[in-house]
Chains A and B, each alone.
Chain A
C-alpha cells in the first residue's frame, strides 16, 4: 500500500455523490498507473467537478380564471393576460388569471435547457404552445436552450400556454389540462 497515491477516496466520494443525485459535469480521464513491486504511482490526476442537482419548485399553476364556454382557443401569456379567439364569443369573465410560476435551482455556473412535453388534455380541453419567460428575460416558445445557470438561490420561470376548448364543457365546471416542464444541464 505504501506509495499508492491514487486519489481513490475522491472516486468513492464521486460515486457516493452520484448515487445521491449529484450531477458530474466532467468525465474522468484515463489514468496511467505505474506499479513497481508494491508501489504504484498515478501518472495523472483526475479533475472532477460536481454540479448540484437541479430542483424545480412549482409556486403556482396556470389559472385562466372563468371564461365563456365555447369553441375557442384561450391563451395566457407570462404576464397573466388572457385572450380568447375568436374574441366575439370567447372572452374571460372573472377570476384572477395568472401564469405558472416555477423556481429552478442548480448550478451556479452551468447553463440549463428547459423543454416542454407531455401535453395532456382534460376531457375536451387540450393544452398546447407553452411559452416561458426565464430569469426575467423575453417570453419565448420552448425549448429555452442554454439559458442562465439557475444558481442555488434559484431563478424564476414563468409559463403561459394555450388551451383549445370544444364548447361542450360543463357549465360551471373547472378543468385542468397539463404538460411537463423539464430542466437539464446541456
Chain B
C-alpha cells in the first residue's frame, strides 16, 4: 500500500511538472515590456512678408554698386560718384519657431536687364548684425532684409509697368 501511494505521488508530481513546463502556458512566463514612442509636435512656422525692398528712384546712370542696408540707408557708388539716400528694407514676420534653431538662406536670385549680381542681407533688427547663414534661436522674429546689387551698363530708365523688380527668395531652414 505504501509502495502504491508512492507510485501515485510520483505520477502526480510528474503531471504537475509537465503542465508547468509547457512554454507559454502561463502569463507568468511571458516576458514582455511596453515600448513607448515619444514624439513632440510643433506648428509649422510661417513667414509673412510685410513689405518688399524698395530703393526708391535712382536718377542718373553708371552706378556700379547699390546697397540697401537693413536700416533702409541706400548707398550707391560708381562712375557717377557716390550717392546716399533712404530706401525701405523688406520686413518679414516669422511665427514662433519655439525652441528650434533656424537659419535664413537666400536663393533664386532673379536680376537681368541691367541688374547684375545680387546678394541679400538680413538682420533681426533694423541695421543690426547680419543674420544670413547664421544659426538663430527660436521664437517669434521680425526679419529685415536689405540687398546689394550691381548695375550694369544695360540698365535704362524704367518707370511704371516697366519698372525693374529684381527678386530673390528667403527661406527659413530648421537645423
A residues near B (Cβ < 8 Å) are 4, 6, 8, 11-12, 14-15, 18-19, 21, 23-28, 30-31, 33, 35, 37-38, 40, 46, 48, 53-56, 58, 61-70, 74, 76, 89, 91, 93-95, 100, 102, 118, 125, 127, 130, 159, 161, 163, 165, 169-186
Whether the pair B30, A63 counts as a contact (CB closer than 8 A) is: no
Given the complex of chains A and B, what is the CA–CA distance between A56 and B13 in angstroms? 31
Point out the residues of chain B lying under 8 angstroms from A18, CB to CB: 17, 20-21
Whether the pair A93, B14 counts as a contact (CB closer than 8 A) is: no
Q: Mark B1-25, 1 if CB is under 8 A from A, else 0.
A: 0111011001101101110110110
- Residue pairs across A and B with CB atoms within 8 Å: the count is 179
Whether the pair B2, A38 counts as a contact (CB closer than 8 A) is: yes
Q: A15-B17, A27-B18 are in contact. Are A58 and B39 (CB under 8 A)?
A: no
Chain B interface residue bracket vs A? 35 or more
Q: Is the interface of B mostly helix, strand, loop or mixed?
A: mixed
* B41-55 interface with A by 8 A CB criterion: 41-44
Whether a CB of chain A sits under 8 angstroms from the CB of B31 is yes
* B76-117 interface with A by 8 A CB criterion: 98-101
Point out the residues of chain A lying under 8 angstroms from B43, CB to CB: 69, 171
Point out the residues of chain B lying under 8 angstroms from A91, CB to CB: 174
- Tell me the nearest residue of chain B to A91, going by C-beta: B174
Q: A11-B13, A23-B29, A62-B35 are in contact. Are A35 and B42 (CB under 8 A)?
A: no
Given the complex of chains A and B, what is the CA–CA distance between A19 and B17 in angstroms? 10
